[in-house]
Structure 1
Amino acid sequence: MNIPFLRQILVASSPQLAAISVGGAIGFPSVLLEQLKTNDSSIQLEMELSTWIGSSHGFAGIPSILMPTLMQWKGRKMSYFISCLFIFIGWLLIYFSENVITIIIGECFQGLGNNSLVVATFNSLSEMLDPKFRIIAMSIYINNEALGVSVASIIGRYLHWKTVSIAMSIPITLALIIGFLWPESPSWLAYKGDYVKCEEAFLWLRGSSEDSQKELKELLRAQKEMYIANRKSKVTLKKLGTQITSRDFYMPLFQSFVILCSVYGSGILVVIVYGIDMMQKATKNSSATHFGMIIIFVSIYLGSLVSIFLMKFFKNKTVYMTSGIFAATFMLGASVVTFLQSVSVVSEESLLCLFFIIFFVASTSMGISTTGYCLAAEVMPVKHRGLGGATYIIQVCILHSVILKFSPYLILYMNLWATFMLFSVIEYVCMIYVWKNVPETKGRTLQEIEDFYNHGRFVTRSGEIEEECLARE
């Protein structure tokens, strides 16, 4: 029996369970908004507060930029545990809430926990699992998040929102229990200079095979060299200014923003959270809307599964752009249909818009909703991942909140067809920019990506290039 493998499965299972609760928190606002607007609800909901229910996750997640600092200070295990605890507290507050304000506070805990957990999970998995299992574990995390969105949204059509909150708190509770059984990350222990405990944790996780012993020696050697280098280096405002104004920082930073704009600006989150109201407005058919939303949430999960296979056989940028173009086209189709309905050319009860939205969600889930986040993170060179990681989190949180906060007002004042048209235009513009400017990252080393931003193209690292890079440093 391969004991180290089973131990790695134990470590990896905790984030996978947590991901279900994270996805549940993303899909839960749609359940709340549907049920709190009914006449028999004990909690009355106004439009202003309803937009905060949909958008509070993003703004609340901004403080998670401190998570990398906490991880370096207290370790990966403690940071992961705190992230899960925030999510659990959020579900608990929502269950016991008697008013909208308490619900929003609970969602703020979830938003902070969700965004912190991504950082803590990916760092922990990358440092504690065997290299051949790391990408698989991270891909499954994204799929389980999509599973959580689908499960919470579907059972919310049949169960009370408090029952849904209890159901979605079960995976994060199990994740917390399993998290207690984790060892600390060997990489962090080595970073702190505790080499004895580092070796013990590494051998517990990875066993004592020849490959494991070799990786352990490399880990210890690299961390000892880094410890010496860190003692000699100092962070100054001049160095920070040089970093911010360097081409290989601000160019990938802007491109990361455009990629994330294509994810959030596509309208996928708006459909997840406000889909019931939108489809009811477009079809005037409550039963068709109910069934259509179930298909939409199933499509989210199935699409994320398909994306894994597509990323294996095709380039990341190809999958991303194909998905984005189809998504923008289907959203444009929904815009045209709703416009024709507004001028009485198409019947108000037509289901055409619903079909276009279903195809839109399927297209989005098979590409930009999964590869978009990966591509946006990959374009940032390793040497800028500290500051770049913080700006990445800020971009995700702000875009998440802004799109969900203002979309109901866009629908109210611009009409549904104009809102769909805006999403489509944003997506097309982003696709054109990415096609012309963003490099393909699959199969490229981190150094090759950095060279692309320094020289405007992928280059062969000849002696001339090496001398230029050394001179720049």
Structure 2
Amino acid sequence: MRGGGRKIASASGVSGIFWVLVLPYIATMYGRRISFLIVTLNSIIGNIVFYCSSTVLQIIVAEAMLGAARSCINTVSPMIVAEYTSPQYRGLFLTIEAVCVFWGIWVANATGTFSHWKNIGIIGIVFSVYTSTALFWPESPHWLAAKGRVEKCTSAYRWLHSSSNKSKAELEFLIAGNKVENSGNVITESNKNNLAVKRLTEVVAASNTKEWTRITSAVELLLLVKDQEKYAELTAKLL
């Protein structure tokens, strides 16, 4: 019995090795959303198999399938949190993600202790169905920008972050940065600085038309400028 318990406990970890290698590739080639939906579908099926299991072998198979979700926590999920949320909230969401892992372990153990162990499968099915809301997500703006799909990137970014001046500035810098990367150049602090300076120069040139919303966006980009002399020059012109 003890040997069987060890096999069951290790099944998800062993299968997770495969998923750790595959999920980042899928996320890079086909998008974050697709990779997350694959994990979600796999988790629904795995939890159904777990609930319907009547032998140790069937439970091991179910646990092996659920290794995808375990691997997703360390691969695709951090990508999604980083690319779908605003910078000021990323730390909070990453902390919540880590806490939820341990909370889920506690719930599973408590459920198995005070009720029938198959109820763990029911809870897993409910939460897996909940994560299927990813069907309604847009694709990651960062992935779309990296693939050169500017229109879809813009639409997705606005869906996630609204159309505020700050969001517009971040979106423009995201697209510009990926254009440099796709051109074969290395993204460095110097390149980022040059992109910011170029954008600011354009805004200053248009400032006589009183496009104040563009000037507000430029103020956000001023923080990216490392050249102090250029910073002072552009600030003086904007003011």
For normalisation by structure 2, the TM-score amounts to 0.74
Identify the match of residue 135 of structure 2 among 162, 180, 192.
180
Alignment of 1:170-249 (within 5 A): 170-176=126-132, 178-229=133-184
Aligned residues: 185
Asked if residue 145 in structure 1 is aligned to residue 82 in structure 2, the reply is no
CA contact (8 A) 1:186 1:198 kept: yes
Paired with 2:124 and 2:152, the residues of 1 have a C-alpha distance of 36
**Structure 2 matches for 1:291-440, cutoff 5 A?**
none
In structure 2, C-alpha distance between the alignment counterparts of 1:112 and 1:175, rounded to whole Å: 14
- Give the aligned partner of residue 24 of structure 2: 68
The CA distance in 2 between the partners of 1:92 and 1:157, in whole Å, is: 20
Which residue of 2 is the match for residue 432 of structure 1? none
2:47 equivalent in structure 1: 91
Show CA shifts across 1:115-160 (max 9, x none). Answer: 0243111101101111011110110011111111111111211211
Pick from 36, 40, 54: which aligns with 1:80?
36
Cα-to-partner distance string for 1:375-410 (whole Å, 9 max, x where unaligned): xxxxxxxxxxxxxxxxxxxxxxxxxxxxxxxxxxxx
Measure the CA separation in 2 of the matches of 1:157 and 1:49: 18
> What letter matches 2:17 in structure 1?
I
1:261-316, CA deviations, whole angstroms, 9 ceiling, x for partnerless residues? xxxxxxxxxxxxxxxxxxxxxxxxxxxxxxxxxxxxxxxxxxxxxxxxxxxxxxxx
Q: C-alpha displacement at 1:49, in angstroms?
A: 2.2
Contact 1:84–1:117 (CA<8 Å) still a contact in 2? no
The Cα shift of 1:74 comes to 0.9
Gap runs ≥5 in structure 1: 1-45, 233-473
C-alpha displacement of 1:192: 1.0
Shift of 1:56: 1.3
1:161 partner SS: coil
1:112 aligns with 2:62: no
- 1:227 CA displacement: 0.9
CA contact 1:83–1:117 (8 Å) conserved in 2: no
Q: Could you tell me which amino acid in structure 2 is paired with residue 228 of structure 1?
A: S
The separation in 2 between residues aligned to 1:156 and 1:224, in whole angstroms, is 52
The CA deviation at 1:55 is 1.2
Corresponding residue number in structure 2 for 1:306: none
Indicate if the aligned counterparts of 1:87 and 1:110 stay in contact, CA closer than 8 A.
yes
Cα deviations by residue, 1:321-358 (Å, 9 ceiling, x for unpaired): xxxxxxxxxxxxxxxxxxxxxxxxxxxxxxxxxxxxxx
Counterpart among 3, 6, 10 of residue 55 in structure 1: 10
- How far, CA to CA, are the matches of 1:98 and 1:181 in structure 2? 35
CA contact (8 A) 1:83 1:114 kept: no
2:22 maps to amino acid? L
Tell me how far apart the structure 1 counterparts of residues 151 and 34 of structure 2 sit (CA, whole Å): 20
Q: 1:130 to 1:196 in 2, by over 3 A?
A: same
Aligned mates of 2:116, 2:48 — CA distance in 1: 15
Query: More relative contact order in 1 or in 2 (CA 8 Å, sep 6+)?
Result: 1
What amino acid maps onto 2:43 in structure 1? I
* Counterpart code for 1:203: R
Aligned partners of 1:152 and 1:168 also within 8 Å:
no
Name the counterpart of 1:383: none
**Partners of 2:32 and 2:76 within 8 A in 1:** yes
Q: Give the AA of the match of 1:183.
A: P
TM-score (norm 1): 0.38
- Give the superposed CA RMSD: 1.5
Q: How big is each residue's C-alpha offset from its partner over 1:355-382, in whole Å with a ceiling of 9 and x where there is no partner?
A: xxxxxxxxxxxxxxxxxxxxxxxxxxxx
Task: Tell me the equivalent position of 1:403.
Answer: none
Work out the CA distance in 2 between the residues paired with 1:116 and 1:146: 15
- Residue 122 (structure 1) aligns with: 78
Partner of 2:91: 135
- Report percent identity of matched pairs: 30
Letter in 2 for 1:190: A
Unpaired runs of at least 5, structure 2: 187-239
The one-letter amino acid paired with 2:176 is R
Shift of 1:112: 2.3
Q: Counterparts of 1:452-471 in structure 2 under 5 Å? A: none
Query: Quick one: distance in 2 between partners of 1:62 and 1:222?
Result: 33
Q: Distance in 1 between matches of 2:94 and 2:130?
A: 19
* Corresponding residue for residue 241 of structure 1: none
Q: How much does 1:90 deviate?
A: 1.5
Say which SS state the counterpart of residue 61 (structure 1) adopts: helix
